[in-house]
Chain A
Amino acid sequence: MNEDLLKKVRKIEIKTKRLSRNIFSGQYHSAFKGRGMAFSEVREYQYGDEIRSIDWNVTARFNHPYVKIFEEERELTVVLLIDVSGSTFFGTNGSLKSEVITEMAAVLSFSAIQNNDKVGVIFFSDTVEKYIPPKKGSAHILRIIRELITYKQSDTKTSFDVAFKFMNNVIKKRSTCFLITDGFGKFDESLQITSRKHDFSTIIIRDKSEDEIPNIGLMRIHDNETGKDIWIDSSDKKLLKTFKEFRKKQDEELKQKFNRLGIDNIMVYTGEDYIRALISLFEKGGRK
C-alpha cells in the first residue's frame, strides 16, 4: 500500500514536474506577478539609468549619484481550493475527474514551487475536509500530492460557500487562488468577496458523459453526492435532449457569472490534454 502510494506520488511528480518546468514555467511566472516592487539595493549611477530612480539621500551622502534598484516582489502565496465532493468520483474517459484534479493540482504546485512561491491547499466538500497551510519546499509539495491521492471521496455534497468563507478567514494576505472543481454546486456572494480579495481563477473538470449520456438502455444511476438511486431510460431521446440543454444552460450561466466577476475560468474534460487549457489560463492572467 505504502509503496504503491509512493509509486503514484512519484509518477505524478515526474509527470507534472516536467510539465511545469519545461512547458509553462515562464508563462506561470509572468502570469502571476507579485504586488508591486520592493526596494532591494542601491548602486552607482550609470549612464542611461533613469534619473527618476536616483536616490537623493544616498547621493547627497556620498556625493556621487546612486540609483535605487527595485525588484519584483515574489514569494506569492498560492492557494488551491480542491473539490473532493462525491461528484468528482466519476469519469468515463480513461480517468476519473478526481484523478485529473489531482494531476492539475500537482502541476500548479510544482509551477509555484519553481517560482519560490508558497503553496497551501484547502480540501472541501460541504465542509472543509482538510487544510494544508501555505509553505515552501518540494517536501511540502510531495505531501500535498500524497494527500491528494490518499483522500477518499465519500458520498458528500458540495458547498462552495463554506470553502470561500474559510479561505477568507484563514488566508489574510492577498494570494493567487485556484478553485479546482467540477462546478456542480451553488455559488453565492462569498465568491464575489473571495474573487476581489485574491487573484482568483477557476478550473472546471468535466467528463463528457456529464454533458451527454450515451444510449445504453435502461440504467440505474447512483448519485455520488446524495446517495440516491434512480432509474433512467437513456434510450429516451427526449430525456437526452432535455438533459443536454439543461447542462448547456447551466454551464453558460456559470460562465457568465465568472466573467461578470472577472474570474478567469477554463473547462477541462477528462481524458483531454489539460496543459493547453492551463496555458490559456495563464495567458488570460498575463493580460490582466
Chain B
Amino acid sequence: MFNNFEYPYFLLLLILIPLLAVYQYFFKETAYTTIRYSQISPFENAPKSWKLRLRNFPNYIRYVALALIIIAIARPQSHLSRDEKNIEGVDIVIALDISGSMLAQDFKPNRLEAAKDVARSFMQERANDNIGLVVFAGESFTQCPLTTDHSMLMELTSKVECGMIQDGTAIGDGLATAVNRIKDTKTKSKTIILLTDGVNNMGAIDPLTASEIAKDYKIRVYTIGVGKIGMAPFPFQTPFGTQYQNVEVKIDEPLLKDIAKSTGGKYFRSTDENSLKTIFKDIDNMEKSIIDVSYYHVKKDLAFGFLLAALLLLIIEALLRKTILRTNP
C-alpha cells in the first residue's frame, strides 16, 4: 500500500512543532507560576523522583498529537489498485438474433436458449460493466438499455422469446439499434456483441452502413455466427404438431467478418453450446485486457485514523496532567 498526500504542503507545518518545543523550553518554563517558599536549599540536592523526570511527558504527547493532526490535515491517502478495473468499465450491448431459425436444435435445447444462458453468465461475470440487450429479427428493438442493474438485465434476458417480433433477419437494423444505444455513453470502451445465425434478408439499414456508423463512434463489434456446419434440425409448425426437418445452415460469414474487421472486433463461429461459452469467455478476456491498460486510482483517505490517534493521545495527556503528573498551582 503506497501512501500519498493530497496536500503535502501542509506537512511544512511540522516544522512548527520543534519551534514550539524550543519556545516552551526556554520561555514557558520561566514563566511558569511558582509558589513562593521560604527556603529551597533542602530540596536542591534531593534526588529527582520519576514523576519529576516525566514532568514534560504530557508536552511530548501533545507534540505527537499535533504532528498527527497536521498529517491528517495533509490528507494521507492509500492507492488501491485492486479496485481500479471496477471504476471505468466497458459498455457492452448484446445484439441477439431472435428469428425463427434460432429455434434450431443443433444447440441444446435450442440456439436461442443456449445463447441466453451464455449471455446471462457473461452478464454475471462482468458485474461492474454497463450492459444492454438489443433483440432483432425482422425488426429490432431494445430489450434492455445499458444498465448496471444486472439482476433486472438478466430477468429481461430470460424473457426474450422467439416470435416477439416479425420473423426475418435484419442484421443492419439490429446493429444500428445497438449503436444508437451505446453511442452517447461517456465510457471510452464501447463494445457490441452481435449474435446471429443467418443472412441479412430484411430491414431498412444495410449491415455495412451500420458497421460504418459503429466504426465512426469507435465501437468494437464482435460478431458471432451461430449454427452447425452443414445441416441442422429446424422446427416447423404443422397441423400435426411441431415437426423437425433438416435444413442447411446459412450464415453470411463474409459480412460478419467484414463488420468485425472494420470496427476492430473479431468474428467467431460457434457450432455448439461449449464453443459459444468459449467465445464469450474470449470476448470477456479481450475486454479485460483493455481495462488493465487504462489505469485508474482509487484514493482512500486515511486521515481518520490519524485523527483518532491524536484524540486518544490528547485524552491521555489531559488525564496525565490531571492525575499523576498534576502540577500546582
Do the beta carbons of B37 and A224 come within 8 Å of each other? yes
Listed residue (A210, A230, A246) with the most chain B CB atoms within 10 angstroms of its CB? A230
Do the beta carbons of A220 and B34 come within 8 Å of each other? yes
In B189-222, the 8 Å CB interface with A consists of none
Do the beta carbons of B39 and A184 come within 8 Å of each other? yes
A225 interfacial by beta-carbon distance below 8 Å: yes
Give the contacting residue for A242; candidates B36, B46, B326; CB below 8 A. Answer: B46
B240 interfacial by beta-carbon distance below 8 Å: no
- Smallest CB separation, B141 vs chain A (Å): 84
Report the Cα distance A210→B42, complex, angstroms. Answer: 11
Report the Cα distance A226→B36, complex, angstroms. Answer: 11
Interface size class of B (residues with CB under 8 A): 20 to 34
Do the beta carbons of B40 and A223 come within 8 Å of each other? yes
Do the beta carbons of A222 and B55 come within 8 Å of each other? no
- Smallest CB separation, A207 vs chain B (Å): 7
Do the beta carbons of B38 and A182 come within 8 Å of each other? yes
Give the contacting residue for A207; candidates B38, B46, B327; CB below 8 A. Answer: B38
Do the beta carbons of B35 and A222 come within 8 Å of each other? yes
| B residues in contact with A86, CB < 8 Å | 38
Residue of B nearest to A218 (CB): B327
Do the beta carbons of B36 and A90 come within 8 Å of each other? yes
Residue of B nearest to A230 (CB): B40
A72 interfacial by beta-carbon distance below 8 Å: no
| B residues in contact with A233, CB < 8 Å | 48-49, 51-52
Give the contacting residue for B43; candidates A88, A89, A230; CB below 8 A. Answer: A230
Report the Cα distance A61→B32, complex, angstroms. Answer: 86
A235 interfacial by beta-carbon distance below 8 Å: yes
| A residues in contact with B51, CB < 8 Å | 218, 233, 235-236
Report the Cα distance A223→B44, complex, angstroms. Answer: 11
A200-226 contact mask (Cβ, 8 Å, vs B): 1 or 0? 000000010010000011111111111
Do the beta carbons of A232 and B329 come within 8 Å of each other? no
| B residues in contact with A90, CB < 8 Å | 36-38
Report the Cα distance A217→B46, complex, angstroms. Answer: 16
| A residues in contact with B329, CB < 8 Å | 219
B64 interfacial by beta-carbon distance below 8 Å: no
| B residues in contact with A230, CB < 8 Å | 40, 43-44
- Smallest CB separation, A216 vs chain B (Å): 5
Residue of A nearest to B40 (CB): A223
B311 interfacial by beta-carbon distance below 8 Å: no
Report the Cα distance A226→B43, complex, angstroms. Answer: 13
Residue of B nearest to A88 (CB): B38
A97 interfacial by beta-carbon distance below 8 Å: yes
B237 interfacial by beta-carbon distance below 8 Å: no
| A residues in contact with B238, CB < 8 Å | none
In A244-277, the 8 Å CB interface with B consists of 246-247
B302 interfacial by beta-carbon distance below 8 Å: no
A173 interfacial by beta-carbon distance below 8 Å: no
- Smallest CB separation, A247 vs chain B (Å): 7
| B residues in contact with A218, CB < 8 Å | 51-52, 55, 325-328
Residue of B nearest to A217 (CB): B326
A231 interfacial by beta-carbon distance below 8 Å: yes
Do the beta carbons of B327 and A221 come within 8 Å of each other? no
A87-110 contact mask (Cβ, 8 Å, vs B): 1 or 0? 111100000010000000000000
Do the beta carbons of B38 and A232 come within 8 Å of each other? no
Listed residue (B33, B51, B325) with the most chain A CB atoms within 10 angstroms of its CB? B51
- Smallest CB separation, A225 vs chain B (Å): 7
Report the Cα distance A245→B35, complex, angstroms. Answer: 22
| A residues in contact with B35, CB < 8 Å | 219-222
| B residues in contact with A217, CB < 8 Å | 325-328
| A residues in contact with B52, CB < 8 Å | 218, 231-233, 236
A219-B327, A219-B329, A231-B55 known; A239 vs B46 contact (CB < 8 Å): yes
Do the beta carbons of B328 and A222 come within 8 Å of each other? no
Report the Cα distance A87→B36, complex, angstroms. Answer: 9
Do the beta carbons of A87 and B55 come within 8 Å of each other? no
B7-41 contact mask (Cβ, 8 Å, vs A): 1 or 0? 00000000000000000000000101111111111
Interface residues of A (CB under 8 A from B): 86-90, 97, 182, 184, 207, 210, 216-226, 228-236, 238-239, 242-243, 246-247
- Nearest first, the 5 A-B pairs at minimum CB distance are A87-B38, A222-B34, A217-B326, A236-B49, A223-B40
Q: 10 pairs across A/B with beta carbons < 8 Å?
A: A89-B38, A184-B39, A207-B38, A210-B38, A219-B35, A221-B40, A223-B38, A223-B41, A236-B49, A242-B46
